[in-house]
Amino acid sequence: MADLVSHPDEVRVISKRFGQGATDIERYLQLDGYQAVQKALAMQPDAIINEVKNSGLRGRGGAGFSTGMKWSFVPKQSAKPKYVLCNGDESEPGTCKDRLIFEHDPHSVIEGVMIAALAVGSHTGYIYIRGEYRYLSVIMQKAIKDAYAKGFLGKNIFGSGYDLDIYWHGGAGAYEVGEESALMESLEGKRGIPRIRPPFPAVVGLWGGPTVINNAETLAAVPHIILGGADWYAKLGTPKNGGTRMFCLAGHLNKPGVYELPMGYNLKKMIYEVGGGIPNGRSLKAVVPGGSSTPVLLPEEIDIPMDFDSVAKAGSMLGSGGVVVLDDTTCIVKFALRTIKFYQHESCGWCIPCREGTDWLKKTLTRFHAGAGLKKDVDNIYYLAENMLGKTFCPLGDAAAMPTMAFVKKFRKEFEDHLDGKPCPFEKAGAVEPVMA
């Protein structure tokens, strides 16, 4: 069970039931549970979609696409069944927020799936949870069972005449499956190889039917929007970036943890005040602002609001909410190597730029970090990454390329310090000891 933290600047929407026993359906009901779906049942589907559109809710998985807009792409009439799929395959390094939502408030995800289903006219939803999160699958399976026992799921929900089934589904270890089309392949019992798009899942998804795919945090926000109203939710954040965000503070910080802060909260403040600053009197070297795939930011680049548009303007991405902080003892070459090792391991191998690119990057960076790098390798690393960008079936290739290019661009000198047989300057100094705050 992961520890909970708190900070006075937090605005608790998604996390308001954390630590309050809301896995128990009775307790969830006491805490306004299943009110939103009943309200949604009395609304027209278009009204639900408009409410979510107006709330400024954008995909919390990382892409930041408007949730209401995504729902509106699902055709009204469909010969094939429509589906709602909750993406709980949380695996972007630096990210551990969906885990807390499943652990403390599983019914909010179920309720979010229900409202999404009503909005798009679907009668079947799936909640996909990564295989490593077994204890959360146990919690979710029980939550679903309890919802059925109350008559909230199944035939004629809340006496409305609407039938709705929601099922749990589990993974077995694969980052790639977090990509929406690979997620559907996995749910269909196959290798998680991405599908070529278009057609997009909203038109041709699970078993060929129109499918809405949203991240668990996104769906958990939906009941709050329906109850509190789009205006209230939108005003919590910044223009076009409604609501709050579960930020996972990790790395070299005094008070790492998952904090729910308004969209647009200042990154510098997040690190120095919420996260308690850098331990052991060390200074900040860099920040990975939104999970391992997002380009690194330098200390002088972090006085920015953490919303999708502002972080994009700063040359990076808000991504999945994983804020990883690096102090001045961190070797960037080593960090870049560990990052690329991950993407090389997780590349499904389906398309060549990603399969070959991540492998060559790993080989080059390994050689480089061992001190056998040549001057031309620095440009080669950048060139390899650049040639993956935008050339792969799914965003995994981009996820590997973007951070690598930023590491080389912003820390070229540090790469050059590793050249021609020189040992890693950070290991030589003995500075890469573990930091235990």
Partner 1 sequence: MRFSDEFETRFAEMLTHYPTKRSALVPTLLYAQDEAGSLTDEVIAELAGRLDLTELEVRNVISYYSMLTTKPRGKYNVQVCTNIACMLRGGEEILDHCKKKLGISHKGTTQDGLFSLEEVECIGACSWAPAAQVNYDFHENLTNAKMDQILDEYKKKGTQ
Applying CB under 8 A, which residues contact partner 1?
1-3, 81, 90-96, 98-99, 126, 130-135, 165, 167, 169-175, 186-192, 207, 248-252, 256-258, 288, 292, 322, 324-326, 330, 335, 338-339, 342, 345-346, 348, 433-437
Residue 137 CB, shortest distance to partner 1, in Å, is 8
Nearer to partner 1, 95 or 238 (CB): 95
Nearer to partner 1, 21 or 173 (CB): 173
Please report how close the Cβ of residue 207 comes to partner 1 at its closest, in angstroms. Answer: 5
- Residue 2 or residue 352: which is nearer to partner 1 going by CB? 2
Shorter beta-carbon distance to partner 1: residue 28 or 102 = 102
Pick the closest to residue 332 from 281, 357, 369 (CA basis). Answer: 369
Residue in 248, 291, 296, 244 with CA at minimum distance from that of residue 271:
248
Six-digit token pair at 147? 């919802």
Closest distance of CB 28 from partner 1, Å: 23
Nearer to partner 1, 324 or 381 (CB): 324
Separation of first and last alpha carbons in the chain: 20
C-beta closer to partner 1: residue 86 or 226: 86
Where residue 288 falls (left for φ over 0; alpha for ψ -120 to 50; beta otherwise) is beta
DSSP string, 387-423: TTTT-SSSTHHHHHHHHHHHHHHH-HHHHHTTBTTPP
Work out how close the CB of 161 gets to partner 1 at its nearest, in angstroms, rounded to a whole number: 22
Cβ atoms 28, 279 nearer than 8 A: no
The one-character DSSP state at 368 is I
Alpha carbons 258 and 78: distance in angstroms, whole number: 40
6 vs 38, beta carbon nearer partner 1 = 6
Pairing verdict, β 83-88 and 211-215: parallel
Least spacing, CB of residue 356 vs partner 1, in Å = 19
The CB-of-53 to partner 1 minimum distance in angstroms stands at 30
Closest contact distance (angstroms) between CB of 194 and partner 1 is 13
Between CA 196 and CA 360 the distance in angstroms is 25
3-state SS assignment for residue 281: helix
